[in-house]
Amino acid sequence: MYRTRKFRNILLEPSERIFCSRDVGGAGRMSKNGGFVNGGAAGETVDGIDSAIVGHYMAFEASDTLHRNAEDFIQRFVYTKQPGSEPQVLLYKVMEDFINECMQVYFVDVGVKAGLSSGSLKVVETTVGVIRKAVGFVLGRVVNKLEPKQMLAVAQHMDRVMLRARGNLSVPAWIAFSLPEEWVTAHFSAHYSLHQTTSAPDVPKLISLYSELADISITEFFETPLQLIGLGPILRKMTDVAIDTARSATRGLLKQIFKNMSREQIGEVLNIFEAMTMSADDVLARTHQSGLGQCMTSSPAPLI
């Protein structure tokens, strides 16, 4: 059954892995004492509420291992200023798990849930393998060359994209990236059209939508942190090749998969990603901050 966006948050239980977004933000939020708090800087908290949680997000719940290791790395560089022993080894492990979990959640898991054929799933797994290999090759050469100042930049970015109760490993952490309002609206419209009309799915439009989603995630999770650390020309060239490989492989996969999908399978993919769209209150609730206040919003947050 089609569900309007107003009720979309009931689609997933808190224990489910896949998650996303929030209704537009930026105007401010209600604090626990009833006052309004205008958004602060990324990473800043006001009355215990993470003021970086604004706008729409696509996200997934991190595994316990990724959460623990990422929290350790962030705490070392951002908060305690004590890098400790072998920080490069820890960072590589975090990034490796991070890439693997992204690939699993957004490609493999979606393919399985949508009921793709064994042949199509094989194509998905092969493409995921290509992306993992390209990214892993770069990580292995970049991470070992990083200085403490560069690792601090990575830790600060990691601190922004991992929505959580900082320092509390008992509360789930969500790996998230911001979505432009236009994408959220277009996806909702495609979902509505498929479920409420008899029109054939606009496959080229869907391929474009999900290609854009992949581009945003690659930029936020891979390209941006690499830009922050200021690589030299040789490593920069290597990372550019890996990024281009990831983008082209993803586009090729989407074109190949969608042309062989039934209406029902396309509908299931749309259901999955629409169900991954959440309000800010859900973001806060899933990090156990929901009791601290309500997010008051009025305009779309910029893509960051």
| Closest to 240 in 3D by CA, of 222, 215, 266 | 222
- Cα dihedral: 199, 203, 207, 209 (round 10): -10
pLDDT digits (tens, 9 = 90+) for 240-289: 999 999 999 999 999 999 999 999 999 999 988 887 777 666 667 777 65
Task: Determine, yes or no, domain membership for 2.
Answer: no
Q: Which of 224, 225, 223, 262 is nearest to 239 (CA)?
A: 223
Specify if 286 maps to a domain: yes
Assigned domain for 5 exists: no
Question: Which has more confidence, 32 or 187?
Answer: 187
Q: Is there a domain that residue 183 lies in? A: yes
Closest CA to 217 of 246, 245, 186: 246
What is residue 219's predicted lDDT score, i.e. its pLDDT?
92
- Torsion, Cα 49 50 56 57, to 10 degrees, reads -120
CA distance 292 to 294: 7
Residue 303 lies in a domain: no
Higher pLDDT, 82 or 41: 82
Secondary structure element (H or E) that encloses residue 37, with its range: strand 36-37
Predicted confidence (pLDDT) per residue in 100-142, tens digit = 999 999 999 999 999 999 999 999 999 999 999 999 999 989 9
Query: 154 lies in a domain?
Result: yes
Domain count within the chain: 1
Structural domain boundaries, residue 157: 19-291
Q: Cα–Cα distance between 58 and 60 in angstroms, integer?
A: 7
List, for residues 21-31, the tens digit of each pLDDT value: 333 333 233 23
For the segment 52-100, what is each residue's pLDDT rounded down to a tens digit?
556 678 878 999 999 999 999 999 999 999 999 999 999 999 999 999 9
How many distinct helices (H) and strands (E) make up the chain? 11, 9
Residue 60 Ramachandran class (φ > 0 left, ψ -120 to 50 alpha, else beta): beta
Answer whether residue 26 is part of any domain. Answer: yes
